[in-house]
Structure 1
Amino acid sequence: MNGRRWERYRTPMNICVFLSAADLPERYTTPAREFAELVGKGGHTLVWGGSDVGLMKVVADGVQKNGGRLVGVSVEFLQDKARGNADEMIVAADLAERKAQLLARSDAVVIMVGGTGTLDEATEILELKKHGLHDKPVVLLNSAGFYDGLKEQFRRMEDEGFLPVPLTELVFFAEEPVGALAYLEESAGVQ
């Protein structure tokens, strides 16, 4: 079966992406744009923080331009930055509710580059997975080696007995966008 025909039979996924709303250099925007194009072309839905600025806008634009759907979960104090033409936009009361909504509406999670908010989201998602409160595949997209230090820290946690489950069961580190999406689709049994 050729690739084009195969794509029609794929099961679309709702892919949550945690990432920065900052304007960032090309070493971060290029892989984010590539991942977004793959998501859109694959017929998947982006579930994201809903902002129409910075890297969040880059990813939303890429998904939408390539045929994917957009489900945003904004928060009351950031409502003025929410994307106006998303397929669906939910406004959460606070950040905790936003994270819960993002996870509840997704089949898989990708963590892209970001600051303290993204790190908070990443560690909460991994903590919930560690305790068996979800079993969704989680990928850290390590653009330009951004998460090399975090990967080293996680390995130390595992080596020194701080993780009750193998690191490979919690998170997959992808160096390239195509590897990130391939891992998610394989883990979720997308056909």
Structure 2
Amino acid sequence: MNICVFLSAADLDERYTRPAREFGELIGKGGHTLVWGGSDSGLMKVVADGVQEAGGRLVGVSVEFLSAVARPGADEMVIATTLAERKKLMLDKADAVVIMVGGTGTLDEATEILELKKHHHAQMPVVLLNTAGFYDGLQQQFRRMEEEGFLRRPLSEMVVFAAEPSAALAHLEESLAAG
């Protein structure tokens, strides 16, 4: 399975690096491929290290203005011209998506895949890994959107929230096995 992971390239503390490494190791041990932003810094590096050290495959999609920090030694590295092209390429290569902690770029990526799912233009499973309650406020906002009629689909059909990396991967594997 090709798992697209959207997350920060920032260097963060153990609350966030531990789950990123753990999720990367689970991807690698499961024989899966990581599709990610291609950066060799911050959480992007941590998750890629975990995948690679556990025997998984790395497919990076960087963007021209960040190509200087692209990870050397990835199994495949594509350099997109724009951030929009980067997102599209990442999603085109993915069977599933996991959204981990991040800033505005990660939030942009998260809302893009959810908008595609809302309109039935993407069918892949999406998990929002809510590490240390990072996305509690966003989850509350999504529920309000659902309750007030702003979503065309039930939230549960668009995204699953998971607190731990193992639960995130289990959901993806179950979803894809179910067809």
The two structures have a TM-score, normalised by structure 1, of: 0.92
The answer for unaligned runs of 5 or more in structure 1 is 1-12
Match of 2:119 in 1: 131
Regions of 4+ moved over 4 Å: none
Query: Of 109, 124, 133, which residue of structure 1 is paired with 2:97?
Result: 109
Whole-angstrom CA distance in 2 between matches of 1:130 and 1:188:
19
Tell me, yes or no, if structure 1 residue 151 matches structure 2 residue 139.
yes
Whole-angstrom CA distance in 2 between matches of 1:142 and 1:123:
15
Tell me, yes or no, if structure 1 residue 59 matches structure 2 residue 30.
no
Q: Measure how far apart 1:164 and its partner are.
A: 1.1
1:189 match: secondary structure: helix
Whole-angstrom CA distance in 2 between matches of 1:98 and 1:169:
25
Whole-angstrom CA distance in 2 between matches of 1:85 and 1:97:
22
Give the number of equivalent residue pairs: 179
Whole-angstrom CA distance in 2 between matches of 1:49 and 1:112:
12
Whole-angstrom CA distance in 1 between matches of 2:58 and 2:165:
19
1:85 match: secondary structure: coil
Is 2:119–2:152's contact at 8 Å kept on the other side of the alignment?
no
Whole-angstrom CA distance in 2 between matches of 1:189 and 1:122:
23
The answer for unaligned runs of 5 or more in structure 2 is none
The two structures have a TM-score, normalised by structure 2, of: 0.99
Percent identity between the two aligned chains: 75
Match of 1:188 in 2: 176
Q: Measure how far apart 1:168 and its partner are.
A: 0.1
